[in-house]
Structure 1
């Protein structure tokens, strides 16, 4: 079969593979992000009543950030499994681990029941979730890049972020639904456990799709003597690793600022929490829906051009929009929502192809490890820490300086993106 030419059966298998991997990815990230959506409710139950409101927030988001430091461990563990024993096996194990951690989260005892043990158990369960998600990203990005139809890899690979942002959207939507059915007091008194039960059940259901996936790792690559080893990654591909960390740092930081921290930021502008929930749900829906379009654009203009547009445009726009325009129009949620959508669309030049450009930097025998580990390191340092770092800036009276930090990282990303080839060989092969 020539490159880019597929039988109907081959197309069907590949598209089913995309759907199967993406569905599990949706559940993984839904389970992971319901923490961010419902943090304001369980923070009362799982932290000391002697803490100030600001201290509780910092601890809860500190735990959120801490879970990202488990991602490098998860990416190493599951990346090794994916490169040595298959992408499918790695994805199945990671979804099982997420199901377990979600059910454990739903059963956490309150501070009133066990005292200081409660926030400690919260940290442990969240670290378990971080381990699972750390393994998820690399295996899914690798699998989707390998099974996607040639000539349309940007389009198909974009569904990783369709489901990633879709997980956030569903978490946000569930928050809106529960707020409609319950009041805030009921959510604080135990209603916050419901989404974690839902997450655990859906994780188990997603096993049905993943158990039927075809494997993309060849026998030759799986039996390579250095498959999935950090030694091979750092000895032979350290430049690719550093480059991926460079542009992922800004991409992940921007992603968490716009999709996670912006909820806290908009509330601080005086917009009601329930209204912010609606705003985030609308913005995330548009953002999710836009990913295939931006993936298709990248197929036409090239990954390098898309990355340069992302880093330059967001570096120019994020400060004036977030710091000047949003506070000025805070009395109009509709206008602020449009501003948030605008920034998310600029972010889409990166997120639609982020997994693909990482996967194309590494050979098959260390691909899942290389993708997952570089992504996890960048996320641990810059991505997951975004809400906590922003709150620390706010605590010392320099909240807006945080956006300068984001701009600096985007400038670094711009220069890293210049290192990508101008006429990508992989695009020539695609077509």
Structure 2
């Protein structure tokens, strides 16, 4: 692929809207920093809304693209395409990380959001299997690969941008909004589907209504361009130099890269266990009604969102390393008893409290997830190091979490998965114990 990615060129390099020159850190006042952080966070929210819209509408469009076989077979086929979005993330993390380090964080973020919007638009207008045959699921796969590639790039660019635009001394608070908007995108997608279910019949949604969330995602990606003037570039574009955004330069920081991957692995396996997989776990293992399980997860996910800025602010006082030690040590100790207790929960209230306890521990990681990684790398490979390291770990440990849990359950060894989560977090604890405090000794000052 060319470094001059087409979408970025349209938004960041056109004569009509030239990218602003990077401002010196001290030149930006608090209000300007806040506006820039809101604009950058809006892009992250749109990105994740588009990504989750696929998961939440799959039940309705599965038969449109895979008419053969029973309902389960259709959903498995759709899930396989969903998984492909995870597998391509490392490639997106590498490409957009390199692009952000060479041409600016702002340009990379805009290009990533527009690519995600293009993928959503493609899904929205796709003919069904009945119209074009096998080309329909093939094009669905293309759209999902576009979205996965985009998501892999958005993480590193957004984490780097929010870390660099933040007011010194309040970076934890600013950077926590990366996960606020990630969770917000998930909730927005859930709300959109809920409104569809309220306003339309089940048959109408299956026939054409499922396309509406994807059209909305494409429109939101286009609207994001209106925010671009509020996004001040935070790093001088390095162009096509040998060092900026290169894997060779990144490999000069092996300890930082391994630290990012180990802690991202623990973060990914716990995130997907206690969020996306948890609804299925409540139904299949705890025997909870699907409606109650959905309501439980909606409430607890909103509470999870509210925790992010609080624990990000706390990290500005106690340090990122302390946050990471609480997360990894807490999960290593409590993943097994928490999953065991949730699997036996008899009421919605008890399930809420137990899942919230797990997410509260995990919030010590998610609130500083992008920030501590950005603090480990110098500016010329920061976006690449954050994006690529996170994407590799997320693809391996996050993308496989649900599959591993369900496979072990099918084999009659469901509790082994809980010990697996605990073991991954124990490794992360050792890594966090050996790391230096990024806030004090890192590259981001």
Q: TM-score normalised to the size of structure 1? A: 0.91
Q: Determine whether 1:182 maps to 2:197.
A: no
Cα displacement string for residues 364-398 of structure 1 (whole angstroms, at most 9, x for unaligned residues): 00111111010111111111222233333334343
Write out aligned runs for 1:24-39 (5 A): 24-39=43-58
Task: For 1:223 and 1:118, locate their aligned partners in 2 and report how far apart those are by CA, in whole Å.
Answer: 38
Question: Shift of the alpha carbon at 1:263?
Answer: 2.1
Supply the distance in 2 between the matched residues of 1:30 and 1:152 (Cα, whole angstroms). 27
Cα distance in structure 2, aligned partners of 1:188 and 1:337: 31
- 1:12 and 1:411 mapped to 2: Cα distance? 41
Matched, 1:165 2:180: no
Is 2:364 the partner of 1:349? yes
* Pairwise CA distance, 1:274: 3.2
**1:241 lines up with 2:260 in the alignment:** no
Which of 295, 303, 319 pairs up with 1:302?
Answer: 319
Deviation at 1:346, TM superposition (A): 1.0
Does the 8 Å CA contact 2:129/2:137 hold for their aligned counterparts? yes
Separation in 2 of the partners of 1:71 and 1:61? 16
Structure 1 unmatched ranges of 5 or more: none
| C-alpha distance 94-211 of structure 1, shift in aligned 2 (>3 A) | farther
5 Å-filtered alignment, 1:204-215, equals 204-215=222-233
State the shift of 1:117 in Å: 3.3
CA RMSD of aligned residues (A): 2.4
1:242-279 Cα offsets, whole Å, 9 max, x none, are 22111101101111112211122223243333333322
2:399 matches 1:399: no
**Equivalence for 2:385:** 370
CA shift, 1:93, in A, is 0.8
Distance (Å, rounded) in 1 between the aligned partners of 2:87 and 2:279: 23
Contact 2:376–2:443 (CA<8 Å) still a contact in 1? no
Of the three residues 286, 290, 302, the one matched with 1:273 is 290
* Structure 1 residue 18 corresponds to structure 2 residue 37: yes
The correspondence for 1:228, drawn from 245, 249, 258, is: 245
Deviations 1:268-318 (A, max 9, x none): 243333333322221111111110001111111111111111011122222
Give the C-alpha shift of residue 200 in structure 1.
1.2
Query: How far 1:426 moved relative to its partner?
Result: 4.6
Taking a change above 3 Å as real, the CA distance of residues 186 and 21 of structure 1, as seen in their structure-2 partners, is same
Aligned-partner Cα distance in 2 for 1:374–1:424? 19
Q: Can you list the C-alpha shifts for 1:181-228, whole angstroms capped at 9, x where unaligned? A: 334444333322221111111111112113431111125x55754101
The answer to whether structure 1 residue 264 and structure 2 residue 280 are counterparts is yes
Matched, 1:414 2:429: yes
The structure, 1 or 2, with the larger RCO (C-alpha pairs under 8 Å, 6+ apart) is 1
Q: Distance in 2 between matches of 1:422 and 1:343?
A: 25
- Structure 2 CA distance for partners of 1:230 and 1:342, relative to 1, 3 Å: same
Separation (CA, whole Å) in 1 of partners of 2:434 and 2:141: 39
Query: What does residue 440 of structure 2 align with?
Result: 425
Q: Conserved in 1, the CA contact under 8 Å of 2:35 and 2:230?
A: no
1-side partners of 2:321 and 2:264: how far apart? 14
- Could you report, residue by residue, the CA deviation over 1:42-86 in whole angstroms, capped at 9, with x for unpaired residues? 223322431461x44433333222211211111111111111111
**Which of 341, 345, 353 is matched with 1:338 structurally?**
353
- Contact kept in structure 1, 2:37 and 2:231, CA below 8 Å: no
* Map of 1:127 onto structure 2: 145
2:15 paired residue number = none
In 2 relative to 1, CA 389–51 (structure 1 residues): closer, same or farther, beyond 3 Å? farther
For structure 2, the residue ranges without an aligned partner over 5 or more in a row are 1-24
Structure 1 residue 418: Cα displacement: 1.3
Q: 3-state SS of the aligned residue for 1:32?
A: helix
TM-score when scaled to structure 2? 0.88
Contact 2:281–2:343 (CA<8 Å) still a contact in 1? no
Q: 1: distance between equivalents of 2:412 and 2:127?
A: 35
How far 1:345 moved relative to its partner? 1.2
Aligned length: 421
Whole-angstrom distance in 1 between the partners of 2:372 and 2:324: 10
